[in-house]
Amino acid sequence: MGLKTVTSEFEGFLEDRKSRFLAHLVPLDLFEQRLEELRKEHRKANHVVTAHRRLLDDGRIEESGKDDGEPAGTSGMPTLRVLQGADLINCAVMIVRYFGGTKLGGGGLARAYSGAAQDAIANAVLVPFQKVLVKQVSADFAGSSELERRIDGLGLTVLSRDYTEDGVTLTVEGPEEALAAL
């Protein structure tokens, strides 16, 4: 699986028969805060449709698409399918819709929402997804400096150092592959 993600927010736009669709692709940890901000910023918008995908610790993928008052299945699910098709994980897309006065129908809504999400993804800088884990490693005092060099060389982050009478225990964070190499 060549999963990808984003590390900052990206926007997309689509207009169809005077309805405007403003898409916001964000890392999952910004989702709730950004959704609240968008609802305040776009009080006159008719809908804010959302979709997200998250990799759970056990390897399963949690995902959802919410229609926010649009006819069932015409907005949230088509938006989620765009995230799935792009192999995106641990990110979310929110699409603000301003109604233009002409009904688009179920197919028109699905095309518009998925088109806005695709535009945001096209504007995004996608990075390969790496599962980040935390691991504890120990060394005696004589080997601690060598351990620190290896950790630094693998690009890992030391979260804490606990010194004991036998040596040091480091809590290290980083990509799963780098931790396995340690």
Q: What is the pLDDT of residues 98-154, one digit of tens each?
A: 988 878 888 888 999 999 999 999 988 888 887 777 888 888 888 888 888 888 888
Asked if pLDDT for residue 94 goes beyond 90, the answer is: yes
Bridge partners of 51? Answer: 65, 93
Alpha helical stretches, state H, 124-140: none
At 37-93, the pLDDT tens digits run 999 998 888 899 999 999 887 888 899 999 888 888 889 899 999 999 999 999 999
∠ CA 72-74-80, nearest 5°, is 105
CA–CA distance, 35 with 48 (Å, rounded to integer): 8
- Residue 144 DSSP one-character state: H
CB count within 10 Å of CB 44 equals: 6
Candidates 165, 29, 19, 42; CA nearest to 102 is 19
From CA 113, how far away is CA 95, in angstroms rounded?
7
How far, rounded to the nearest angstrom, does the alpha carbon of residue 108 sit from its chain's CA centroid? 26
DSSP structural state of residue 101: S
pLDDT attached to residue 71: 85
Please indicate, yes or no, whether the overall pTM of this predicted structure exceeds 0.85.
no
Q: Which two tokens mark 127?
A: 């990075």
What strand order describes the sheet that includes 132-140?
132-140, 167-175, 157-163
Integer Cα distance of 111 and 129 in angstroms: 27
The token duo for 73 is: 């299945």
Confidence of residue 10 (pLDDT cuts 50, 70, 90): very high
Q: What is the pLDDT of residue 79?
A: 92
Please give the pLDDT value at position 1.
Answer: 53
d(CA 145, CA 25): 42
pLDDT digits (tens, 9 = 90+) for 17-41: 988 999 999 998 899 999 999 999 9
Average pLDDT over residues 162-168: 87
